[in-house]
Amino acid sequence: MKTVEKHQHMDTPEIAARSVGARVLRSEDPRLLSGRGQFIADIELPGQLHVAFVRSPVAHARITHIDLSAVRDAEGVHLAWSGADAAQFCEGLVGEFAVEGCNPTTMPLLATDEVLYVGEPIAVVVAETRYAAEDACELLDWDFEELPAVVNADAAAAGVGVANPQLPDNFGLRGGASFGDVAGAFEQAHQIVEGRFYTCRVSAAPMETRGVIADYEWASKSLRVWSNTQMPHFLRYMLTAYLGFPEQNVEVITPDTGGGFGQKAHVYPEEMLLPLLAREVDRPVKWIEDRRENLMAGAHAHEQYVDIAYALDATGKITAVRTHALGDGGAYHAPPWSMAVEPWCAVVMTPTGLYDAPAAEYTYAAVATNKTPVGAYRGVGYMAGTFARECLADEAARATGMSPFEFRRHNVVPEFPWTNPQGIVYDEGSWRESIDVLESMVDYPAFLQRQAELRAQGRYIGLGLSFFVESSGESTAGSQEHGLGDVYHDTATVRLSPNGTAHVTIGLSAQGQGLATTMAQMAADTLGVRVEDVIVETARSTSHAYGSGTIGSRGAVIAGGAVSRAAGVVREKIRAVAANLLEAAVDDVDLVDGNASVKGAPDTSISIAEVATAIYFDMSSWPEDFDPVLEATQAYDTARAMFSNGAHAMVVELDPETGFVRFEKVFSVEDCGTVINPNIVEGQIRGGVVQGIGASVFEELAYDESGQLLTTTFLDYGIPTMDVSPPFEIHHIETPSKHSASGVKGMGESGLIAAPAAVLNAVNDALTPFGVVLRELPLSPEKIRAAMSGATESAAPQVVAP
């Protein structure tokens, strides 16, 4: 794999940790938890009009007639468009992915000839109120001729029907690669373990749905767009690229956001339409997605089949891994990513994990179906890949007669740096240690004893493990390491005020992760001030710092790097003036705890506030040729791909009568390098793991055979709640990165990436007495009950002789 050339924006200052590592309380919480946040729905612009969409009630149909006149005549309506009206301004959003075998699609802003999934927008109405807009939507006069719906990935791959005429063979993506002697390894294998794993279709279901407000001012030609997007700068770029609004006149504003999880890291037709509508009606226009729309038209996630096989030698060592992933992509590539995000990521990023497999082969395919497009969701692709790999590891442990800990220890990579068969280089990690730590946290012998005792009473508990390696800090280097060419960087601005307090702006919008707190910690340590003396503004507007998006566990690493570089510039200014005032050499001046002091002479010190005041108001304090600007904007990107790692162990109990899964306990080990703030890291683990529990047991976006979506409210789509969330025991290991500021690594996705495998493994462990192994999500009560009453057919684990 290629690595990037080292650039100056990849170096960060070396700083001693003071507030980094501390359980600093989140500065966002008093505001957000007392209802003082301002979310997009809270924003009211004078004169605003409201937007509603007519969405397809059927999965696949040809529009034979559409007449908007009754809609346009309805009370309170200002404008109504169908696909043809929108197409005059924009033909649609192209979705593609720069990997071998990707066939692009263009998603129209409003369907024109054919509708391809339930929920696809067909017409848009602008009216005085949302009520009036929805009343008018009901008056749309249109006819359609239903076409056969393609709703199953295997059928789509076999060419049964055509889901989207732009992809005549249904394939949105197809490719593969092989590294090392995979065929030989499988021929000579002592034993092969294999299985087909299915991760069902789910929604990220953020607490706050999507929303867009657009306001166009014709006199200055300026466009302001409020969106709760995770990628405001990218959206701004797209508004120019697709719609021609001059970029210098476009501002994208991101208010408080109630969760994104990747669903808001796309560019959607609604975000393109609202600016056009605002310009047309010359009034601000507002659209707040309702839950039904969110479940139908917000990006769906996860649905794919992963076939994975290990060749094992006589000692139980993995000699090769083969992975085939087939993604059910929905009707279009979801821009700006694509159907590739699931199957491609799964096979390229995850098959070796922490195991020292010398050879690997993969194929990936994504097919179009008449369902909502699949997009990003926390740990996209990583979840399904890790799920297949870790569940197969448990099956391999059973097949080789080893404990699940022992099998992993037997196969774990022994030393770093390690280059996997694809050429991906892992610089450091605590892969082996995490196995040992988790085993002692769980107290495995005690668990086995308790399990046996309970079984004798007719109670069934199970323990499931899942280990992960998470690519973190999505970067140019990380992208190249995985064979892509994406270029990323972020900027941050740090300004020191005359009283020695700091103001920081970053290029990332926040969705609730506590970025303002962690970034204040990074800035405080670099500047040597107290964390309470730093205020951080996340990207509330594109008129501030630049950012490539709050995606790919990049916030802590990338924004942290930019903040620390910008703070480093200001730091040098302070040191220069402090040295002058203290009559010491600059190199001897240290900034810690609000003071500038001379190394070895702690009494010779001056407060940073005094230095800042002097810089602003006392020119005699300045050294020669001093430029008094106490503000710096710096960019950052990592020099190398970096990976965090860790594991979860889950204890569950199954009720044989109801088939319900009770979650008893989660043990987590996390190594994200230097921990900036344990509270925030633990919050990310808890939230991610509970989402993983949801995606394994409670959640499924279900379709019927005609492509009708059956789960359009939270009555039918079950998200996990506190009462199913188990207690956690969390252990931190810190293996710092040599390439990031303070050694931090990203960890925002690992909970969801790894939890589902732990759940399935725990369930299968509990099912051992019944001789059943499950491989498909969700683990519905019905499936579990059937497994426990001997009604499941695929009973025997698939262990095949070569």
User: Which of residues 43, 724, 797, 799 is near another protein by CB under 8 A?
Assistant: 724
Which listed range, 81-89, 368-376, 378-386, 655-663, lies at the site for another protein (CB under 8 A)? 655-663
Q: In the bound complex, what is the minimum distance in angstroms from residue 40's beta carbon to another protein? A: 17
> Rounded CA gap, 411 and 399, in Å?
15
Which listed range, 106-114, 318-326, 673-681, 775-783, lies at the site for another protein (CB under 8 A)? 775-783
User: Which of residues 260, 659, 743, 756 is near another protein by CB under 8 A?
Assistant: 659
Residue with tokens 């129209």: 108
Question: What DSSP assignment string belongs to 535-555?
Answer: EEE--SBTTSS--S-S-TT-I
User: Which of residues 90, 781, 794, 798 is near another protein by CB under 8 A?
Assistant: 781
Report in angstroms the alpha-carbon separations of 737 from 558, 559, 658, 683: 13, 15, 47, 22
One-letter amino acid at 224 equals: R
Q: Is 718 helix (H, G, I), strand (E, B) or coil?
A: coil
Q: With respect to another protein, which residue has the nearer C-beta, 44 or 782? A: 782
Query: On the CB side of 604, how many CA atoms lie within 13 Å of its CA?
Result: 15
> Rounded CA gap, 734 and 557, in Å?
15
Question: What DSSP assignment string belongs to 71-92?
Answer: HHHSTTEEEEEEHHHHHTT---
User: Which of residues 782, 790, 795, 800 is near another protein by CB under 8 A?
Assistant: 782
Contact code string over 357-376 relative to another protein, x by CB under 8 A: --------------------
User: Which of residues 720, 726, 751, 756 is near another protein by CB under 8 A?
Assistant: 720
494 and 504 Cβ atoms separated by less than 8 Å: yes
510 and 4 Cβ atoms separated by less than 8 Å: no
> Rounded CA gap, 484 and 472, in Å?
15
Report in angstroms the alpha-carbon separations of 171 from 156, 163, 303, 334, 688: 8, 10, 15, 14, 31
Q: Which residues contact 516 (CB under 8 A, 6 or more apart)?
A: 26, 27, 28, 510, 535, 536, 537, 538
Q: With respect to another protein, which residue has the nearer C-beta, 220 or 457? A: 457
Q: With respect to another protein, which residue has the nearer C-beta, 593 or 655? A: 655
53 lines the binding site for another protein (CB under 8 A): no
User: Which of residues 169, 313, 453, 657 is near another protein by CB under 8 A?
Assistant: 657
Q: With respect to another protein, which residue has the nearer C-beta, 3 or 658? A: 658
Q: In the bound complex, what is the minimum distance in angstroms from residue 294's beta carbon to another protein? A: 11
User: Which of residues 672, 774, 785, 792 is near another protein by CB under 8 A?
Assistant: 785
Q: With respect to another protein, which residue has the nearer C-beta, 123 or 570? A: 123
Q: In the bound complex, what is the minimum distance in angstroms from residue 791's beta carbon to another protein? A: 9
Q: With respect to another protein, which residue has the nearer C-beta, 275 or 659? A: 659
What is the per-residue burial (b if ≥16 Cβ within 10 Å, else e) of 615-632?
beeeeebbeeeeeeebeb
Q: With respect to another protein, which residue has the nearer C-beta, 616 or 660? A: 660
Which listed range, 265-273, 284-292, 381-389, 578-586, lies at the site for another protein (CB under 8 A)? 284-292
Residue 491, both tokens: 């900027």
Which listed range, 21-29, 211-219, 557-565, 778-786, lies at the site for another protein (CB under 8 A)? 778-786
Q: Is 586 helix (H, G, I), strand (E, B) or coil?
A: helix
Contact code string over 235-274 relative to another protein, x by CB under 8 A: ----------------------------------------
Contact code string over 115-144 relative to another protein, x by CB under 8 A: ---------------xx--xx--x------
107 and 95 Cβ atoms separated by less than 8 Å: yes
Q: With respect to another protein, which residue has the nearer C-beta, 60 or 785? A: 785
Q: With respect to another protein, which residue has the nearer C-beta, 360 or 760? A: 760
> Rounded CA gap, 691 and 202, in Å?
10
User: Which of residues 217, 290, 682, 734 is near another protein by CB under 8 A?
Assistant: 290
The candidate with the shortest Cα–Cα distance to 678, out of 485, 517, 568, 786, is: 517
User: Which of residues 282, 586, 721, 802 is near another protein by CB under 8 A?
Assistant: 721
702 and 711 Cβ atoms separated by less than 8 Å: yes
Residues 678-717 that bind another protein (CB under 8 A): 698, 700, 702, 710-711, 713, 715-716
Q: With respect to another protein, which residue has the nearer C-beta, 66 or 133? A: 133
> Rounded CA gap, 131 and 76, in Å?
10
Q: In the bound complex, what is the minimum distance in angstroms from residue 697's beta carbon to another protein? A: 8
| Strand duo 661-671 + 114-115: pairing | unpaired
Q: In the bound complex, what is the minimum distance in angstroms from residue 785's beta carbon to another protein? A: 6
User: Which of residues 69, 440, 543, 658 is near another protein by CB under 8 A?
Assistant: 658
User: Which of residues 627, 705, 723, 793 is near another protein by CB under 8 A?
Assistant: 723
Q: In the bound complex, what is the minimum distance in angstroms from residue 700's beta carbon to another protein? A: 8
The candidate with the shortest Cα–Cα distance to 92, out of 104, 109, 105, 112, is: 109
> Rounded CA gap, 172 and 169, in Å?
9
For binding to another protein (CB under 8 A), which residues are involved? 130-131, 134-135, 138, 290-292, 657-660, 698, 700, 702, 710-711, 713, 715-716, 718, 720-721, 723-724, 780-782, 785-786, 789
